[in-house]
Amino acid sequence: MTNASATTALIIGGGIAGPVTAAALARVGVAPIVHEAYAGPADQLGAFLTVAPNGLAALRAVGMLDRVRAAASFDTTRTEFVNGDGRRLGLLGDESRLPPELRSVTITRAALQRAVTDAAIEQGVDFEYAKRLRSYTDEGNQVTATFTDGTSATGDVLLGADGIQSAVRRTLSPDAPRPTYTGLLGIGGYVPAVDIPPTPHETVRMVFGARAFFGYQRAPDGRTFWFANLGHSERSREEIAAQGDETWRDHALELFDGDLPELTRIMEAADPGQFRPRGTYDLLSLPRWHRGRVGLLGDAAHAVSPSSGQGASLAFEDAVELARQVRVHGGAPAALAAYERVRRDRVERIAAEGRRRGARKAGSAHPIALAIRDASMRLAFAMIRRFGSQRWITDYRTDLADTHDDAEASSSIPGSRP
């Protein structure tokens, strides 16, 4: 990879990180090909997520911001935290100081994947579907990927953007820790207009209920987007399916019985399928993100719990940072090493923060424990608001044109470059 214009990058995974990485690399002269296991963009899969200002800024750097904003369901610029009785614990995230195009949005995962894929195709990126990576061989001067359909592909560099269960990671680092179950199951989706008080303008309401956690926001079109996190022991997908959606629905309704009545009203309007939970997992730290000509990005490198609200945004930052390092260093091993050096501290801190946030969600049966929880959270949110102590997460900016070297990057705010 001495001449960037002659470099081909095999990108494994056409989810969220893959298309953005491909577009970012194309901008620095690399020829990327995305290999995705599914037969096409997974239009029916997943619920919704937030793209934060740091993620939107990274999308701007690769010319995808307008498309993603156009595909978003609505802006979510503030978060109101209440307890199960509806009493306010905190209000965070006034983004009025930011330019409108960088204010947080809520978007369905399907729409986000479609938007970044279409934008990448428009920018000349090739996609190969129904290509599930089995393993790869790094031959020193090139890398060969083999797929489960028996075909193979060769490139100068191979990048694993294949999600939390990454096959690339298994080959790159067989001893790497497995993703950790966070103790929470996630359910949710969207319901048509229901008779509930509207959420304040551009504000998602997060409810620390007595026994579980609930989030919802009313969309401008009248729908309500909702999710809930239920403390539960780990279950496999098969065990979850075997229990039946109706049983999960009853369980969720029971957990929120006695909390704000609108939570029950939202769930009563939801399809049974929205109650089939997904386990939530994270991956706080890997021994390595790269080896030779192979590297990891997005959830493959550092899965953050959904409680951080940063999974997609960090993947976009990764994509831009890697391309920036290719521009600076020209060669695959050096660029991958520099990329890991710049990214690791920041994403590990955010992953740890996501785990801390998730730990407060399970609730408690005991009223005194709940009163202590509420008091400590009121204090914590007041401190965050007063000192802006979460801004290091969302104020981070990276850009392809940036020519900072690693020393400069790591000498600024920890995990951040202004």
Ligand X SMILES: Cc1cc2nc3c(=O)[nH]c(=O)nc-3n(C[C@H](O)[C@H](O)[C@H](O)COP(=O)(O)OP(=O)(O)OC[C@H]3O[C@@H](n4cnc5c(N)ncnc54)[C@H](O)[C@@H]3O)c2cc1C
273 binds ligand X (CB under 6 A): no
Residue the block writes with tokens 């021994």? 287
- Closer to ligand X by CB, 293 or 329: give it: 293
DSSP string, 9-40: EEEE--SSHHHHHHHHHHHTT-EEEEE-SSSS
We find the least distance from the C-beta atom of residue 254 to ligand X, in angstroms, to be 24
List 25, 26, 31, 37, residue binding ligand X (CB under 6 A): 37
357 binds ligand X (CB under 6 A): no
Residue the block writes with tokens 């229901």? 194
List 49, 82, 120, 153, residue binding ligand X (CB under 6 A): 49
We find the least distance from the C-beta atom of residue 303 to ligand X, in angstroms, to be 7
Task: Find the angle CA(358)-CA(15)-CA(140) to the nearest 5 degrees.
Answer: 105
List 45, 371, 379, 382, residue binding ligand X (CB under 6 A): 45
12 binds ligand X (CB under 6 A): yes
We find the least distance from the C-beta atom of residue 208 to ligand X, in angstroms, to be 19
SS3 215: strand
Contact 274, 187 (CB under 8 A): yes
Nearest to 116 by CA among 31, 186, 58: 58
311 binds ligand X (CB under 6 A): yes
Read off φ and ψ for residue 35, nearest 5 degrees: -115, 115
167 binds ligand X (CB under 6 A): yes
317 binds ligand X (CB under 6 A): no
36 binds ligand X (CB under 6 A): yes
d(CA 13, CA 34) in angstroms, rounded, equals: 7
Contact 57, 398 (CB under 8 A): yes
358 binds ligand X (CB under 6 A): no
Contact 252, 228 (CB under 8 A): yes
277 binds ligand X (CB under 6 A): no
We find the least distance from the C-beta atom of residue 315 to ligand X, in angstroms, to be 4
- Could you give the dihedral angle defined by the CA atoms of residues 205, 208, 211 and 213, in that order, rounded to the nearest 10 degrees? 50
327 binds ligand X (CB under 6 A): no
We find the least distance from the C-beta atom of residue 48 to ligand X, in angstroms, to be 6
- Closer to ligand X by CB, 109 or 232: give it: 109
Select the span of 157-165, 201-209, 238-246, 404-412 touching ligand X (CB under 6 A): 157-165
22 binds ligand X (CB under 6 A): no
Beta bridge partners of 167: none
List 109, 169, 249, 355, residue binding ligand X (CB under 6 A): 109
Q: Cβ-count burial of 87 within 10 angstroms (0-12 exposed, 13-18 middle, 19+ buried)?
A: exposed
17 binds ligand X (CB under 6 A): yes
315 binds ligand X (CB under 6 A): yes
We find the least distance from the C-beta atom of residue 255 to ligand X, in angstroms, to be 20
We find the least distance from the C-beta atom of residue 234 to ligand X, in angstroms, to be 18
Query: Shortest Cβ contact with ligand X: which residue?
Result: 15
d(CA 382, CA 369) in angstroms, rounded, equals: 20
312 binds ligand X (CB under 6 A): yes
- Closer to ligand X by CB, 161 or 206: give it: 161
321 binds ligand X (CB under 6 A): no
Q: Are strands 294-296 and 157-160 parallel, antiparallel or unpaired?
A: parallel
46 binds ligand X (CB under 6 A): yes
CA 326 to chain centre: 24
Q: Are strands 88-92 and 31-35 parallel, antiparallel or unpaired?
A: unpaired
At 244, list the tokens: 């039946």
d(CA 11, CA 19) in angstroms, rounded, equals: 9
- Could you give the dihedral angle defined by the CA atoms of residues 351, 356, 360 and 362, in that order, rounded to the nearest 10 degrees? 50
Select the span of 174-182, 282-290, 309-317, 409-417 touching ligand X (CB under 6 A): 309-317
d(CA 147, CA 160) in angstroms, rounded, equals: 14
179 binds ligand X (CB under 6 A): no
42 binds ligand X (CB under 6 A): yes
List 298, 331, 363, 415, residue binding ligand X (CB under 6 A): 298
Positions touching ligand X (CB under 6 A) are: 12-18, 35-38, 42, 45-47, 49, 109, 132-133, 161-163, 167, 298-300, 306, 311-312, 315
